Each structure stands twice: as structure tokens, then as C-alpha cells.
Amino acid sequence: MQPTSNFDPAKLAKSLLRRSRQGALATLMTGTGDPYCALANVASHPDGSPILLISALAVHTRNILADNRVSLMLDERAPGDPLEGARIMLVGKAEAAAQSELELVRRRYLSAHPSAEAFVSFADFSFYRIHPAWTHLVAGFGRILDLKADRFIIDLAGAEALVEAEPDIIEHMNTDHRDTMNLYARRLLAAAEADWRCSGCDPEGIDMQSGQTVLRLEFPQPVSTPLELRKTLVQLADEARKKELGSLGKVP
């Protein structure tokens, strides 16, 4: 089916990858090849690819070690009929995180799932990344299509400084600009007031989380350096404040 007008499938797929905290992970049973599905917590790499923290004792881990082809379904869990919410079924290969990226994937995962700090260092737990080949997107009538990975995975070339600075950016936003993030949430994303904290940033947006609810604030244009990010966040804060004043009947 062809997408309808004013519908950006790549943007929606990217958003689901960033906002999802759990998904249905499907692997192939060793020996038989039977499909096996398990609920798994997920986080996202700066490029958008899913990060898993899984135990060597789990059936799905043993399956991955024998055949690393997997699929992962993520959905919006919208109120009402679950089938009315957008969802993606991502196909790819799960690979153990490289030693060179362990610090990054650990940081990203713990930012999304702080409670995992209690067992992240256990010897039987390891980080894996799913490297997608394509995804099947379902977002309502007339909005069903397949996307190749280059449509929803971000190319981080040229943005190395931003990725490296992410821990400092998150700490700064959570320490000094918690009120601004709440303003972003309420005025730019129409979300309820809550204790929103920054859980990640990348060239195309920032992720904000309160409990298990995650918001994705897209940038008007991609950024590649901390300075460009700062300018964009100031721009978005100004926009949010104008909307705040407008809601109070005040002229900016």
C-alpha cells in the first residue's frame, strides 16, 4: 500500500525506535528453527539501532549465538485498541557490542533503564546491538510499507564530537535545564507536565523520559556539533516560551 499525503514513514520509524523501551524479540530455536518470541527491554544507539542487555542463560541468547537473525516488534501502546497505534517489525542481525563501543551502549541503556544498574555487571549479562536490514511499518489504513535501513538509521559520520559530548549534554540538561525540558514537553509536544529528564541526544533530536514514558523532540534541522545543538535548543526554548505566553494571553 502506498503512504498517504503528509505522512513521513521514516520519521515515524525513527521516533518509534527512540521512544520504545520494550519490544517483542523473535529468534530461531536452535536445532529446530522454530520461531521463539520473548519480551525484551530495549534502548537505542545514537544512530537509532536497538540495544539489548541479555543473559547468557536466556533461551533467546542461546538462539542468537547459533543464528543471529532476529526480528523485533515495537509499538506505541496507544490507549484504546492496540492495533490502532503505529508499530514496526524490524529485521536484522543481533551482534555482541564491540569492545570499543561498550561504554557508549552501556551508558545509553542505563539512561533508558536505570534499574538495570543492579545487574548490568553480572558476568552472564552482555550488550547486543541489532543491526537492521529493513523494517515493516504499520501506521493505519493506507500507511503500511517496508523501509530499508538507510531510511531510519542515522549516519553519524561528522557528528563524532556530538556523540562524545552526549554524557555532558545530558548532565547539563538534567541539572540546569529541567524546567526547560518540561516546557519543551508541554508546549512543543503537547505532553502533560511531569518530571521530564533528558535521556539521550543525537543529530536529529533529543529524548526525554518520565518513568517509562518517552518523548522525542525532533530538531528543525540536523546538528553535528555541541555548539549547533546548543543553538538549536535555545531556538526551541524560545519557541516554547512564546507558546507559553500565548496560552496565558500575553504578547511575547
| Stretch(es) of the chain classified as CATH 2.30.110.10 | 9-151
Entry pTM: 0.91
| Stretch(es) of the chain classified as CATH 3.20.180.10 | 160-247
Contact 202, 154 (CB under 8 A): yes
**Euclidean distance between CA atoms 148 and 244, whole angstroms:** 39
Q: How many helices (H) and strands (E) does the chain have?
A: 6, 11
DSSP string, 187-231: IIS-PPP---EEEEEETTEEEEEETTEEEEEE-SS---SHHHHHH
CATH of domain 160-247: 3.20.180.10
**Euclidean distance between CA atoms 94 and 114, whole angstroms:** 23
**Euclidean distance between CA atoms 57 and 41, whole angstroms:** 16
**Euclidean distance between CA atoms 125 and 105, whole angstroms:** 13
Q: What pLDDT is recorded for position 141? A: 77
Q: CB neighbours (10 Å) of residue 231?
A: 12
Contact 245, 192 (CB under 8 A): no
Q: Going residue by residue through the chain (252 aa), what tens digit of pLDDT does each one get?
A: 344 457 899 999 999 999 999 999 999 999 999 999 999 999 999 999 999 999 999 999 999 999 999 999 999 876 777 777 899 999 999 999 999 999 999 999 999 999 999 999 999 999 999 999 999 999 987 889 999 999 999 999 999 999 999 999 999 999 999 999 999 999 999 999 999 999 999 999 999 999 888 999 999 999 999 999 999 999 999 999 999 888 766 655
Q: What is the dihedral of CA 113, 119, 124, 127, to 10 degrees?
A: 20
Closest CA to 70 of 128, 20, 127, 28: 28
CATH of domain 9-151: 2.30.110.10
